[in-house]
Structure 1
Amino acid sequence: MTGQENVFKSYMDSNSLFKGDRDILRPSYVPEELPHRREQINDLASIMVTALRGNRPSNVLIFGKTGTGKTAVVRYLEREINRLKRENQESELNAEFSEFDIDKVEYVYINCEVVDTHYGVMKNIGNKFVEDWDEQIPFTGWPMEKVYESLKDRIEEEKRVVVIILDELDKLVTKSGDSVLYHLSKINSELVKSKVSLIGISNNLKFTEFLDPRVKSRLGEEKMIFPPYNADQLKDILADRANKAFEPDILGNDVTSLCAALAAQEHGDARRALDLLRVSTEIAERDNDSSVNTNHVYKAKNKIEQDCVREAVNTLPTHSKLVLYSILLMHENGRDKLTTGEVYSGYKQLSKKSGMDPLTQRRITDLISELDMLGLINARVKSFGRRGRTKEIQSSVPKSDIIDLIEEDKSIEAVKNFNSHSPKQTTLM
């Protein structure tokens, strides 16, 4: 021991501004009430009650931008069903509920941003119904047909209604196609005792355009669209969470109003509002301040925006990184406004240099739209009269920082070397 004070001690001695669990301000926390989502709760409950009667509810597709309460509503109803199951097990429900078969309803939640392969989704669903480790579907190694048959057999072991929630469904379809949806949407025709219902959650209304028509028809029996929250609604949500998370006088005047207003500017995103309030408080703690003020909120806004850009870039597929990289390099070389054709030409050079076969220009046009949707570039359609229309493309991120970040990707190391040899002479066009 050196006698030096433990590095954590000074932080442990400081008072926390949070009253208790700071996870109350995280999007994953599901409160007892969801302000301004009672209509959506009732609509989905009216569909799901069919499961409590032992019948298959309609498949449901839920759409809405990030932070509009889609996942929270679905998890809220899952919790309500689990409460009914516990009450039913602890004491007999009233006679008025005798027609219901509550104990036979099972929820399976899959986050398709984390589990984004056909095999992974099937494995996770199948393993929900076994406790013995030796009987679990392995992480990898089985033929897909064997995984599907095993999943089906496990669901069919006893009579039940299985509700499968596929959150961030568009991420699964984008990466792995719709084969898993094809299997799951037709599984009821192969079951005798049990029934399966699907709830798909997506931020992207257009992802269904990439589905097989049969899958699209089966999956979208019911559709729900969640509207964005406005600033007043976001303020109510924050006030509800703040009452649980903080002692009185911790939040300065206008803190929740500012968090709500900033999040409302970004399509009414409750996640962003909660993140702003939580990060503002964490910054105030690090500054050893006794309360949170609007300056902390603006610092939190800057930090979150920087973190979001880095995360968005880090999680891009390799070809999307090359598209963004080509745009940034051409901007570095003085080309501010680019056409789709110019971007494609630059991308094609980079992909060949990195040893990869370039994608088609049509596919790159799709990737440009995705980068635009992520806020990494601005791509607006410009008309050239008789010569037609094209997209005018500009980056909307710090060029040098993001170039450095992309160059950390080992899969494009050859491109990095190519650029570093002659940074101002890389003729991407």
Structure 2
Amino acid sequence: MTDGNESSDGTADLESRDAEVDVDGSGISLIPGADDEPTDRTVDEVLEEEADDGASRGLFDDLLSGQPIFENKEVLRPSYTPRKLPHREEQINNMATILVTALRGDTPSNILIYGKTGTGKTASAKFVSDELETTSEKYEVPCEVEYINCEVTDTQYRVLAQLANKFIEENREQIEADLDRLRSLRDRARTDASALADTDYDSVSAVEDRIATLEADRDSFEAVPMTGWPTDRVYNSFFDAVDYRERVVVIMLDEIDKLVEKSGDDTLYNLSRMNSELERSRVSIMGISNDLKFTDFLDPRVKSSLGEEEIVFPPYDANQLRDILDHRADVAFKEGALSDDVIPLCAAFAAQEHGDARRALDLLRTAGELAERDQTDHVEEDHVRQAQEKIELDRVVEVVRTLPQQSKLVLFAIILLEKEGVHNINTGEVYNIYKRLCEEIDADVLTQRRVTDLTSELDMLGIVNAVVVSKGRYGRTKEISLSVPIEETEAVLHSDSRLGDIEDVQPFVQARFDN
């Protein structure tokens, strides 16, 4: 005889035993059906139950116990494309007016979109693109938009490879779907010839011939590796893939100036002349740039073709930024989570940054995150000010981290002088220390004029403040001071493998007195 809870071999019934297992000590069973209560409880219900039971609280329990501030934080991120873009109706309508020709099967004019960072260029272009693709499906017109971020995909090879692989994948998927349909038709037609009625095929062998052709087409589409092929082969692969069937393709090149800066205008030249050779498809280019003058460096033929239509996005003012933040905040935050002065302050800070909506959204999101860390259910003005300081520091860290080696050496020299309490630092003092630093890490020593130029570049980046002053009969010089937090900036410089080896800085500070 065995107990009702044991199997025939005397072991306890696993299902019965597992129902009692508390895997993580939280009191929550992980075995389906283990409890009589539903398992899809909320975080608040779990915390309340643990409090009633006197259960020990883990590392994250206290953090979860506060009231959440965010409803949907993702709407505050740059990657989010909203369904409404306040104060960009004119630009959106202009884009739509140009691109509507794609829905008629014609080639839209190429478009160049200009505007400073955070003026809604990419968000508006993506919004219009989504609408274009949705409408094309509605009317069964083959039209699609391919987005490329040229800050990441910054060479002709990478752009063409990414485009080629996208269309190769699409073609293979379409071919596989056609093959499945034709194989099914062939199998039915073998037993019932009437299955071929109202089709383009008059016999089973005709269907089989078409199957063989499609299989050959599918096998001919070879994915392009990200390196290793001659560029003309990559271009031909893209050309063949995009022209495999009828469609209108809009290629959206975000940060197009970065592509031209890195690789010249060969990519744009090749893309802009494609339509004269394509038989089934049509290609249009939509370029997005922060630099109004980048076309000055283009070949005149490329410039003429690329700039058929131009749309300018002006900066937002503070009131417009408030509208944008109000619109996003309604979705992003719990009701009543923001104090009245949070959004106006975020808008005011961002308006100072040439009307940058991206900066405004970053500020609002970061302020909310800081409030969460304070375990408060309300975002206050002070959280916005903390967020402003944090974002500015993050910007400085990134700028300093990506400086060229020589600029880092000049900046390091200025920091060493500031740490020694030197006021009204002049270029001669900076240059003397700079030379010693170069000798220490075996770097080339630039001329004093070039170091002065590098100091001016640091000034333009907002890292230092360099003011030209007159010394009377001794001529003019620059007085230099640091504009960024000294400790954080020095830490970034020390993270450089070469500068990090410099430990004893006193000899370099003394070098400012050298002739």
**Worse-matched range after superposition: 326-335 or 248-257:** 326-335
Query: Matches of 1:415 and 1:219 in 2, distance apart?
Result: 47
In the TM superposition, what whole-angstrom CA distance separates every residue of 1:382-409 from its partner, at most 9, and x where no partner exists?
A: 999xxx9999876532344323313323
In the TM superposition, what whole-angstrom CA distance separates every residue of 1:298-351 from its partner, at most 9, and x where no partner exists?
A: 111111111122123334455654565566567668585667x99899889877
**Offset, 1:30:** 1.6
Classify 1:309/1:138 alpha carbon distance in 2 versus 1 (closer, same or farther; 3 Å): same
Task: Tell me the secondary structure at the aligned position of residue 484 of structure 2.
Answer: coil
Classify 1:17/1:403 alpha carbon distance in 2 versus 1 (closer, same or farther; 3 Å): same
Identify the residue that residue 94 of structure 1 maps to in structure 2: none
Contact 2:317/2:351 (8 A) holds in 1: yes
Query: Matches of 1:178 and 1:353 in 2, distance apart?
Result: 41
Output the amino acid matched with 2:284.
S
Task: Tell me the secondary structure at the aligned position of residue 201 of structure 1.
Answer: strand
Q: TM-score, normalised by structure 2?
A: 0.68
Contact 1:126/1:155 (8 A) holds in 2: yes
Identify the residue that residue 63 of structure 1 maps to in structure 2: 114
Identify the residue that residue 318 of structure 2 maps to in structure 1: 231
Output the amino acid matched with 2:104.
R
Classify 1:415/1:292 alpha carbon distance in 2 versus 1 (closer, same or farther; 3 Å): closer
**Offset, 1:24:** 1.0
Identify the residue that residue 507 of structure 2 maps to in structure 1: 422
Contact 1:344/1:364 (8 A) holds in 2: yes
Query: Matches of 1:16 and 1:405 in 2, distance apart?
Result: 34
Contact 1:354/1:415 (8 A) holds in 2: no
Contact 1:156/1:192 (8 A) holds in 2: yes
Identify the residue that residue 97 of structure 1 maps to in structure 2: none
1:382-393 alignment, distance < 5 Å: none
Contact 1:350/1:415 (8 A) holds in 2: no
Task: Tell me the secondary structure at the aligned position of residue 228 of structure 1.
Answer: coil
Identify the residue that residue 106 of structure 1 maps to in structure 2: 144
Identify the residue that residue 32 of structure 1 maps to in structure 2: 83
Query: Matches of 1:45 and 1:353 in 2, distance apart?
Result: 59
Query: Matches of 2:246 and 2:292 in 1, distance apart?
Result: 34
**Offset, 1:42:** 0.9
1:43-192 alignment, distance < 5 Å: 43-89=94-140, 102-103=141-142, 105-131=143-169, 135-192=222-279
Classify 1:420/1:233 alpha carbon distance in 2 versus 1 (closer, same or farther; 3 Å): same
Identify the residue that residue 257 of structure 1 maps to in structure 2: 344
Output the amino acid matched with 2:62.
S
Query: Matches of 1:274 and 1:148 in 2, distance apart?
Result: 39
Classify 1:276/1:421 alpha carbon distance in 2 versus 1 (closer, same or farther; 3 Å): same
Query: Matches of 1:358 and 1:147 in 2, distance apart?
Result: 43
% identity of equivalent residues = 52
Output the amino acid matched with 1:116.
D
**Offset, 1:249:** 1.5
Output the amino acid matched with 1:23.
E
Contact 2:416/2:505 (8 A) holds in 1: no
Contact 2:73/2:333 (8 A) holds in 1: no
Query: Matches of 2:117 and 2:293 in 1, distance apart?
Result: 15
Query: Matches of 1:159 and 1:366 in 2, distance apart?
Result: 54
Output the amino acid matched with 2:162.
N
Identify the residue that residue 200 of structure 1 maps to in structure 2: 287
**Offset, 1:221:** 2.3
Contact 1:338/1:394 (8 A) holds in 2: no
Query: Matches of 1:393 and 1:179 in 2, distance apart?
Result: 42
Aligned length: 411
Classify 1:360/1:303 alpha carbon distance in 2 versus 1 (closer, same or farther; 3 Å): same
**Offset, 1:88:** 2.9
- Does residue 13 (structure 1) correspond to residue 61 (structure 2)? The answer is no
Query: Matches of 1:367 and 1:112 in 2, distance apart?
Result: 27
Task: Tell me the secondary structure at the aligned position of residue 286 of structure 2.
Answer: strand
Query: Matches of 1:362 and 1:220 in 2, distance apart?
Result: 40
**Offset, 1:48:** 1.4
Contact 1:125/1:151 (8 A) holds in 2: yes
Query: Matches of 2:489 and 2:245 in 1, distance apart?
Result: 53
In the TM superposition, what whole-angstrom CA distance separates every residue of 1:54-108 from its partner, at most 9, and x where no partner exists?
A: 222222221111111000110000110122133235xxxxxxxxxxxx32x2211
Task: Tell me the secondary structure at the aligned position of residue 336 of structure 2.
Answer: coil
**Offset, 1:122:** 1.7
Identify the residue that residue 278 of structure 1 maps to in structure 2: 365
**Worse-matched range after superposition: 127-136 or 316-325:** 316-325
Classify 1:223/1:377 alpha carbon distance in 2 versus 1 (closer, same or farther; 3 Å): farther
- Does residue 299 (structure 1) correspond to residue 386 (structure 2)? The answer is yes
**Worse-matched range after superposition: 295-304 or 179-188:** 179-188
Task: Tell me the secondary structure at the aligned position of residue 130 of structure 1.
Answer: helix
Classify 1:161/1:348 alpha carbon distance in 2 versus 1 (closer, same or farther; 3 Å): farther
**Offset, 1:180:** 2.3
Task: Tell me the secondary structure at the aligned position of residue 135 of structure 1.
Answer: coil
**Offset, 1:235:** 0.7
Q: TM-score, normalised by structure 1?
A: 0.81
Task: Tell me the secondary structure at the aligned position of residue 157 of structure 2.
Answer: helix
**Offset, 1:2:** 11
Classify 1:304/1:136 alpha carbon distance in 2 versus 1 (closer, same or farther; 3 Å): same
Identify the residue that residue 180 of structure 2 maps to in structure 1: none
Contact 2:432/2:511 (8 A) holds in 1: no
Q: 1:23 aligns with which of 74, 79, 83?
A: 74
Classify 1:361/1:106 alpha carbon distance in 2 versus 1 (closer, same or farther; 3 Å): farther
Q: CA RMSD in A?
A: 3.8
**Offset, 1:372:** 5.2
Unaligned runs of 5+ residues in structure 1 are 90-101
**Offset, 1:17:** 0.8
Query: Matches of 2:439 and 2:253 in 1, distance apart?
Result: 37
Query: Matches of 1:184 and 1:345 in 2, distance apart?
Result: 51
**Worse-matched range after superposition: 1-10 or 303-312:** 1-10
Task: Tell me the secondary structure at the aligned position of residue 129 of structure 1.
Answer: helix
Classify 1:212/1:60 alpha carbon distance in 2 versus 1 (closer, same or farther; 3 Å): same
Task: Tell me the secondary structure at the aligned position of residue 293 of structure 2.
Answer: helix
Query: Matches of 2:75 and 2:131 in 1, distance apart?
Result: 19
Query: Matches of 1:420 and 1:309 in 2, distance apart?
Result: 23
Query: Matches of 1:415 and 1:56 in 2, distance apart?
Result: 56
Classify 1:337/1:135 alpha carbon distance in 2 versus 1 (closer, same or farther; 3 Å): farther
Classify 1:135/1:68 alpha carbon distance in 2 versus 1 (closer, same or farther; 3 Å): same
**Offset, 1:259:** 1.0
Output the amino acid matched with 1:72.
A
